[in-house]
Amino acid sequence: MKEPAGRVHSVETMGGRDGPGLRCVFFMAGCNFRCSFCQNPDTWSIRGSQSITLEEARERLIPLLPYLRSRGGVTASGGEPCLQSEFVVGLFKAAHELGLSTAIDTNGSCPPSKQERLLEVTDIVLLDIKACEDGLHRRITGKPLGPVLAFGKRAAEVPDRLTLRRVVLPGINDSADELEGLAEYALKLGFTPDIELIAYHRLGAHKWKELGMRYPLANLKPPTAAHMRKVAERLRKHGLTVAGD
Amino acid sequence: MAKQQPFRRGRWSVKTDIQDFIYRNYSPYESGPEFLEKATARTRGLWKKVGELMAEERRRGGVLDIDADVPGGILSHGPGYIDRKHELIVGLQTDEPLKRAVKPVGGVRLVEKACRAHNKTLNPGIVDIYTRFRKSHNDAVFSIYTEKMKQLRRLGILTGLPDSYARGRIIGDYRRVALYGLNYLIAEKKGDLENIEGAMETKDIRQREEAADQIHALEQMLELGGMYGADLKRPAVSAQEAVQWTYLAYLAAAKESDGAAMSIGGLSAFFDCYIERDLKTGVLDEAKAQELIDDFTIKLRMIRQLRPPEYDQLFAGDPVWITLVLGGMGNDGRTKVTKTDYRFLQALRNLGPAPEPNLTVLYSPRLPKPWKDFCSEISIQTSSLQFENDDLMRPIAGDDYGVSCCVSLLKAGSQMQFFGARCNLAKALLLALNGGRDEIHGEPVVPGVPQLKGYYLDYDQVHENFMMVLSWLAAQYVKTMNLIHWSHDKYYYESAQMALLDTDVDRLMAFGIAGFSVVVDSLCAIRYAKVHPVRDENGLTKDFRINGDYPAFGNDDERADNRARDLVITFLTEVRKHAIYRRATPTLSILTITSNVLYGKKTGATPDGRQAGTPFAPGANPMYGRERNGALASLNSIAKLPYYAAQDGISNTFSIVPSALGKDLPEQRANLTDLMDGYFTRGGFQINMNVLDRELLKDAMKHPEKYPQLTIRVSGYAVHFTRLTREHQEEILRRMFHEII
């Protein structure tokens, strides 16, 4: 059988934020969401991406082992890595053979038929839930919320596997109702995940322009540190563990 | 009070052997920093006084005061104090804090210039003596240089040579004064002098004269101690005395010489033997032990030398490179980390960050985890540490060694080096592309280099020309170095430092290369892309047009990294072919300090796409913006450079924003330890670690008064960011910070 090849936007050998320890992050090309705040719109399309075989991916990990082995590992991000779940499964198997942990940074749109195989080899799921109300989710991402929540539920079946992420867009997805909704969802899961807040920033805005697109959030200001603390406190009131403020 | 126990005796008791003393008496420490104490009110008061003086120094343009009337020497000035009642460790270079002495033996015209730059006039009597009656090092070198050497120097091909400043780089084993006392050391040197006989040829006579000078310096050191009430005749009997004796020995050296880098070696385990003993008898408690280290650190931070303005361009920020090594592993498998290693790092917290002493952690993945994590944390908080690979150096030097300047290994007490600055390899490549002519003025430099033909550069032809240039240049470089050090030995001999080394010292000659990644990338561009040289009417290359992509150094890509390896080995091999002054062993460094800016300014456009006049990357760093696979790939490329061919050190300046390193301090600390474990396991030699926000640096450029202590690591040393020139600050900002969007 032919090995699956992946379409990769870029490989960042030193990720310090996407899972524990130092991580080699594969930014997979192609995304099914069109988030208005996206910081990497250049990863939406597979145009301009490089093709990489599993063997090549493994070759790239080996020189990094002394850095990654103690606590870190491999993260598949993107783009949306679940769209290339076969490649990611292969990558994660190779990572495990090398003694590395595996993490996926996803919007949750993994087709149900592929979920089991993917989750089997995934140590950490970083699930970014952009909104907890379907209408808002559709407005921000262009896609329905249901499958995202269903994927999270499945990921939470194994203790400590799931972390929920929320990019805080001031005045958009940080209302009292929204945060209530997120907390309620987290607490209902089989295993209560930690929540990681990420402050919206504009460092990716120039990429929209370079791609000839209008940046939809041109007037949105990044949240202040105080605002982030307030959001975190709100979630902590529910007994959740929250990082990122 | 418990009775003081004598130190365990051994080989050191019958022969000068500090390593043996430490090995028998030190207490390895494998736990964490919990025992450390904050600065006492006394320390804070003293440091505040010094802080005010330093602020005044900054206000006066970087120099507080100069004594332009008395040439500096071991006994020229003093005693001087900051606040006599409250100083635990005493001794200043002149009679007043931060006042600089003049050292005309290095070059009287340079001292005149330096005085003028700070609105002082050098005493005409001094000028008279050092022009009419006594030759200076600078005058001597220029009188014996060949025209070719002067040309290479003028065109910026051989650069930063120690012909117009003192070479430095020697590390006296200052601990010897504390352990043995000067009576013993003087008697030992006298014995050595008696034994130097031979046929009384030049080399024998020179050795006798040097030993006699060393004895004289030790006698002066004794008198310097007397000035400060320290009886250096005898060994130190307490921790306070051990620190004081060691400091006075260093002070004698810093009063006598103004070498570009005057490092101090490893002291922590040595001091710790005395401190542990005094803690046991109750003479000291932890707060007092910390006070000794804090005070010693304050004293080192006050060492000043007078430099001419040209020196600043090469070595920005007024550095002295009092490089102090910490940590490391012992040959017996025990760690060399002691509580006093922690105390030196604690001084950074107690006194705030500063460039001096240049704290250098000898790193091995086998170091105790709490120590590694503490170093990471201090590094994140202060950006004042560099880390160097103990596992690479220990097999060569044993477990008692110092680091000179930034990255140069020297065995403690038995090795010295002749500092050789560096050769601009980017210029060498341009000589190869221009038929041996200098790319800026068209001056013929290297004879017999064929003019290149063809629209695109042909890799084989370029390579052949380049090898021809390197071979010719290495010969010139060695000869130039031989002249410089012959002159320096003769006219500006460092008696005090050499007196604290074995008489039969092992000598290294440290050559260096600059423009490293520019050359590697240029060769890759010519090999893998198509490069068309744009030539002016005289046929000189003015620009390069690159068609296609090429693998650049810094991406863990073998195509580039192999060329990088070859370049280092080739140049060292060329240097080794030639006779070297005093049979010194040649070594090589890939280090630029801050001179990458100046060298870049003097270098035309290069085939890698770098524009004329723009800075090189510092040391062995990849060029800005060419690292496409993130920080670890870049570290791996540098880690591949062969240390065996560059034993004078490979410098890597690394900057990362805190948020890219991890989401909070515990995660950042753990990740930094992982990063260093990985890098040093891969064979990386050195890393200057900066964990900083770019925004902070921008703000510091706008409001320097808000950041008097902001310290950052540049190639091989630390500087106060606000004391750098605008040009250097901009270069640092431009440099690729590792951050992920």
Q: Active site includes B375? A: no
Question: pLDDT tens-digit profile of A159-176?
Answer: 999 999 999 999 999 999
Distances (CA, A) of A6 to A3, A51, A84, B90, B664: 10, 6, 7, 67, 32
Q: Is B488 in contact with B162 (CB distance < 8 Å)? A: yes
B674 touches chain A (CB under 8 A): yes
- Angle (deg, nearest 10), helices B147-154 and B459-491: 110
pLDDT of residue B741: 38
Q: Check A13 against B675: CB less than 8 A apart.
A: no
Alpha-carbon distance of B230 to B246, in angstroms, equals 11
pLDDT of residue B216: 98
Chain B segment 547-576 residues within 8 A of A by beta carbon are 556
- For chain A, the C-alpha Rg in angstroms (whole number) is 17
Alpha-carbon distance of B240 to B288, in angstroms, equals 10
Closest CA relative to residue B252, chosen from B78, B88, B104: B78
Closest CA relative to residue B188, chosen from B15, B411, B21, B9: B15
Tokens of B567: 């370049």
In the block, tokens 């929209």 appear at A208
pLDDT of residue A204: 81
Chain A segment 183-222 residues within 8 A of B by beta carbon are 196, 203-204
A16: closest CA of chain B, how far (Å): 5
Alpha-carbon distance of B240 to B228, in angstroms, equals 14
Burial of B441 (C-beta count, 10 Å sphere; 0-12/13-18/19+): exposed
- A8, A38, A67, A77: best mutation site toward chain B, by most B Cβ within 10 Å? A67
Question: Where are any strands of DSSP class E within B139-254?
Answer: 158-159
Closest CA relative to residue B586, chosen from B483, B426, B499, B477: B477
What residues are paired with A52 via a beta bridge? A6
Strand order through the sheet with A194-199: A50-53, A5-15, A23-28, A73-78, A101-106, A124-128, A162-168, A194-199, A242-243
What residues are paired with A165 via a beta bridge? A128, A196
Tokens of B718: 């630390």
Buried b (16+ CB within 10 A) or exposed e, A176-213: eebbebbbebbeebeebbebbbbbbeeeeeebbeeeee
Q: Is B386 in contact with B358 (CB distance < 8 Å)? A: yes
The set of residues, in sequence order, having a beta carbon less than 8 Å from that of B316 and lying 6+ positions away, is: B594, B714, B719, B723, B724, B725, B728
- Identify which has the larger pLDDT, B263 or A214: B263
- Domain total in chain A: 1
- For chains A and B, CB pairs below 8 A equal 83
Q: Check A13 against B633: CB less than 8 A apart.
A: yes
Residue of chain A whose Cα is closest to the Cα of B683: A66
Q: Active site includes B273? A: no
Residue of chain B whose Cα is closest to the Cα of A11: B629
Q: Check B674 against A22: CB less than 8 A apart.
A: yes
A167 touches chain B (CB under 8 A): no
Q: Is B377 in contact with B370 (CB distance < 8 Å)? A: no
Q: Check A17 against B740: CB less than 8 A apart.
A: yes
Q: Check A22 against B630: CB less than 8 A apart.
A: no
Burial of B398 (C-beta count, 10 Å sphere; 0-12/13-18/19+): middle
* Secondary structure tally for chain B: helices H, strands E: 27, 20
In the block, tokens 């005093």 appear at B582
A62 touches chain B (CB under 8 A): no
pLDDT of residue A17: 85
Q: Check A67 against B677: CB less than 8 A apart.
A: yes
The helix (H) or strand (E) run that includes residue A23 is strand A23-28
Burial of B453 (C-beta count, 10 Å sphere; 0-12/13-18/19+): exposed
Distances (CA, A) of A240 to A104, A156, A157, A177, A236: 22, 15, 18, 16, 5
A12 touches chain B (CB under 8 A): yes
Closest CA relative to residue B169, chosen from B587, B697, B732, B554: B587
Closest CA relative to residue B642, chosen from B620, B617, B673: B620
Buried b (16+ CB within 10 A) or exposed e, B716-733: bbbbbbbbbeeebbebbe
The range of the structural domain enclosing residue A222 comes to: 5-243
The minimal CB distance from B740 to the residues A15, A21, A72 is found for: A15
pLDDT of residue B737: 63
Mean pLDDT by 10 residues, chain B (741 residues): 88 97 98 98 98 94 96 96 97 98 95 95 96 95 98 96 95 98 98 94 95 98 98 98 98 97 98 98 97 98 93 84 97 97 98 95 98 97 96 97 97 97 97 98 97 96 98 98 98 98 98 97 98 97 97 97 98 98 97 88 97 94 90 96 97 89 92 97 96 85 83 80 83 67 38
pLDDT of residue B1: 61
CATH number at residue A22: 3.20.20.70
Q: Is B427 in contact with B515 (CB distance < 8 Å)? A: yes
In B302-368, alpha helices (H):
309-314, 339-351
Alpha-carbon dihedral B381, B384, B388, B394, rounded to 10 degrees: -100
Q: What is the ipTM of this complex?
A: 0.92
Alpha-carbon distance of B324 to B327, in angstroms, equals 10
Alpha-carbon distance of A75 to A92, in angstroms, equals 9
A11 touches chain B (CB under 8 A): yes
* Catalytic position from the list B115, B273, B375, B405: B405
Residue of chain B whose Cα is closest to the Cα of A201: B741
- Angle (deg, nearest 10), helices B339-351 and B369-382: 20
- For chain B, the C-alpha Rg in angstroms (whole number) is 25
